[in-house]
Chain A
Amino acid sequence: MLPERIIREGHVQPESWQFVGFEEPLVIEPLPEGPIVVPLALWKAQRALLQNRGTPVGVWLKPDDEPGELADDVATLPFIAVHFPKFTDGRGYSTASLLRRRYGFRGELRAFGDVGRDQLFFLKRVGFDSFGLAPHRDPVTAVASFGDFSLRYQGSVDDPAPLFRKRGQEGRA
């Protein structure tokens, strides 16, 4: 199940993307109208066709999908989503970090699946900027957790410099 509301830029908004090949076995034809998000395998197989649809197309990745497979597409893709089958499966954090830092993806990066409010702070740090919580979780109260920490020791996508490059420079220490 995917939620009807997602968190984007810190606010709860209605979902605007349709995920393909996620809840049912993959059926390529007919694809739904409007903005769609397709699995990596379909993207690789039908890339030219999908690019000529005339409506936005994003790609969603499984935890073991190699983000490098999208290296040539990150400049044009508007949307990439990373699935978390279980919130304890941390591979997606590295996937996001690599998409942002190594491959330079600047579009919307979505974490979805078994995602809860207690993961949001870290997910945001590694480069996710939109979040589809598990449907039974309330996105409205969850946004509070973006403020769990005001300081971080190590750099990440949100702020590459570790604390040690800032200590004593803000008059705080």
Chain B
Amino acid sequence: MYRYDAYDHAIVQERVAQFRDQTRRYLAGELTDDEFRPLRLQNGLYIQRHAPMYRIAVPYGLLASRQLRKLASIVRRYDRGYGHFSTRQNLQINWPKLEDVPDILAELATVEMHSNQTSGNDIRNITTDHFAGVAPDELVDPRPYAEILRQWSTFHPEFAYLPRKFKIALNGAATDRTVLRIHDIGIEFVRNTEGELGLRFYAGGGMGRTPILAPVIRDFVPWRHMLTYTEAIVRVYNRYGRRDNIWKARIKILVKSLGVEEFARRVEEEWALLQDSPHIVTDAEFDRVARHFTLPAYELLPDIDTAYEHALGTNKAFARWAGRNVHGHRQAGYAAVTLSLKKPGIAPGDITGEQMDIVADLADRYSFGELRVSHEQNLILADVRKRDLFAVWEAAKAAGLATPTVGLLTNIIACPGGDFCSLANAKSIPIALAIQDRFADLDYLHDIGELDLNISGCMNSCGHHHVGHIGILGVDKNGSEWYQVSIGGRQGNNAALGQVIGPSFAAAEMPDVVSTLIETYLELRHPDELFVDTVERVGIAPFKTRVYSENKELARAA
């Protein structure tokens, strides 16, 4: 993974000093709340329901074991012993003291970490495929590009006060695992007819109140122009994006109101003037960064490991876990492993400091000392020998990290919701836990098959409910919490936005509503058809009818 050089170290050190001084001036009354707010947000610090919420950047989801150990020590020392991995591959902690944050930042800097631009109206953490570099279907390893973008966007002087937050994702694989088109900019690697590598730029995607899948703005940008084309887009947005209404300030609204053609024309006009920019990426820089992402020292192994095959044949629980949580790898004899943070009874994405230490040990022992955070809020060991999978499973199981449900209904994505977040309209975690409890039977769960269930506590859509096969959105009606249900959303190459099935439900109804949706699917499905495929084939009507006729005795929100 990328390692800091003296420049990178100096920059994060200067950031620590800057934020320490800003915090000091705020606590001394020299900065007002309004003056301090954007400064702390650009350092990932929110003032939340109970205490500050602090969001630590995990650039493109990649972590080294020593970094995870540092995070473990931070959650123990400054928080309540646990943290929460978010859909942007970052780590959030919910109970730090404001005055401690500069010290936390200084500790992070010792392991080449930071919280730069994890909030605020700026360019946020760049995200990519959690299987980058190991996925069998990968065309280009996106990580060097993500790192070059990270550096360019860090403390960009022109783009620190954008109309709204700005999220960029990159996908280098045949199958999109980044939910690319819900981003403000989505970058996809492509080759033109001459075989040259380029980037297809999507812009203007987003969720929130107006969910939009980003349209293509330019089909092919030479890869060296990644920064200049991004600069052109962000400049057009900075100048013309709406600032009068927070709900209409994202770039998606600008793209929609100008129309894709006019937006693209303005970007082209801007880009035309950047054709000899010094930000055209050089071979020297690309090579310097890419050297950090070379293949680890794989052993040459047969692809089939007999001990692994034997264990699969004789241990049903292990086979079930392997069927869901072990993933294909481009290197013979290796696999990627998901360590699940979706144990029933635990908030999705939550992890204790002790578990972090265990995962760090597993990474050191079995996966070259590195791991990844997925946008589905799990951890990934990307380079595990197949012959070690059984040992990894046993260790993960003992640590509560082997819930065998990746891709299944109870692998719920959920934001922290109203239990923690001051923006939320409703709680997310109790709904997730109640649904996990309802679908605790693993045989039933596996029979239902792949199903993404995503929960957001408000329209900010941190839980990605729009692209859940079943999406649940917390809404506030007259001061009480209700839940709106949509179905038919999906991530991946055929990303789609779910359709709302009708009026909202009370919290207590939600397990029944999901059960009814599932029963309807099981009756209607064709062989080998996923829930979302059935919805696509038959439409939402049969689901809607069943849900509202079976649950009609319950109170309904207007």
Contact = CB atoms under 8 A, between A and B. Distances in A.
A54 B243 CA distance: 39
B238 A149 contact: no
Interface in B181-232: 227
A125 B155 CA distance: 11
Given A164-B151, A167-B285, A173-B5, A116 B158 contact: no
Contact of B6 (A156, A161, A164, A173): A173
Contact of A165 (B10, B11, B238, B278): B278
Contacts of B282: 164-165
A163 B35 CA distance: 30
Most chain B CB within 10 A, of A102, A118, A121, A161, is at: A118
A87 interface: yes
Given A94-B238, A154-B279, A162-B278, A88 B158 contact: no
Nearest to B239: A94
Contacts of A149: 11, 14-15, 18, 155
Interface stretch (B105-113, B159-167, B311-319, B395-403): B159-167
Of the four ranges (under 10, 10 to 19, 20 to 34, 35 or more), the interface on chain B belongs to 35 or more
Contacts of B163: 90
B152 interface: yes
Interface string B148-182: 10011111111111110000000000000000000
A3 B284 CA distance: 48
Contacts of B10: 150-151
B537 interface: no
Contacts, number: 110
A122 B7 contact: no
B14 A150 contact: yes
B533 to A, nearest CB: 44
A172 B161 contact: no
B288 interface: yes
Given A151-B10, A173-B5, A173-B6, A164 B285 contact: yes
B256 interface: no
A40 to B, nearest CB: 15
Contact of B155 (A94, A152, A172): A152
A128 to B, nearest CB: 10
B555 interface: no
B165 to A, nearest CB: 13
Contact of B7 (A87, A90, A93, A151): A151
B238 A93 contact: yes
A156 B278 contact: no
A15 interface: no
Given A102-B273, A118-B22, A153 B152 contact: yes
A122 B72 CA distance: 34
A129 to B, nearest CB: 14
A126 interface: yes
B235 interface: yes
A155 B155 contact: no
A104 interface: no
A143 to B, nearest CB: 14
Nearest to B148: A164
Nearest to B121: A88
A88 B38 contact: yes
A5 interface: no
A14 interface: no
A87 B161 contact: yes
Nearest to B162: A90
Nearest to A97: B158
Interface in B1-42: 5-7, 10-11, 14-15, 17-18, 22, 31, 35, 38-39
Contacts of B281: 164
Given A116-B35, A167-B5, A173-B6, A93 B18 contact: no
B22 A122 contact: no
Contacts of A102: 273
A122 B160 contact: yes
B157 A122 contact: yes
A148 interface: yes
A2 B154 CA distance: 32
Nearest to A144: B21
A89 interface: yes
Most chain A CB within 10 A, of B38, B157, B238, B284, is at: B157
Contacts of B22: 118
A160 interface: yes
Contacts of B31: 118
Interface in B262-311: 273, 278-279, 281-282, 284-285, 288
Contacts of A154: 151-154, 156-157, 227, 279
Nearest to A158: B157
A132 to B, nearest CB: 17
A90 B468 CA distance: 34
A91 interface: yes
A89 B243 CA distance: 8
Contacts of A165: 278, 282, 285
A121 B22 CA distance: 14
Contacts of B160: 90, 93, 122
Interface in B230-263: 235, 238-239, 243
A155 B158 CA distance: 10
Contacts of A97: 158, 235
A78 B103 CA distance: 46
A153 B113 CA distance: 16
Interface of B: 5-7, 10-11, 14-15, 17-18, 22, 31, 35, 38-39, 121, 148, 151-163, 227, 235, 238-239, 243, 273, 278-279, 281-282, 284-285, 288
21 contacts: A88-B38, A90-B161, A90-B163, A91-B239, A91-B243, A93-B159, A118-B22, A122-B155, A150-B14, A151-B10, A153-B11, A154-B156, A154-B157, A154-B279, A155-B278, A156-B157, A162-B279, A163-B7, A167-B288, A172-B7, A173-B7
Given A90-B159, A152-B155, A163-B151, 9 more contacts: A88-B161, A90-B238, A93-B160, A94-B235, A123-B157, A154-B157, A162-B227, A164-B148, A167-B285
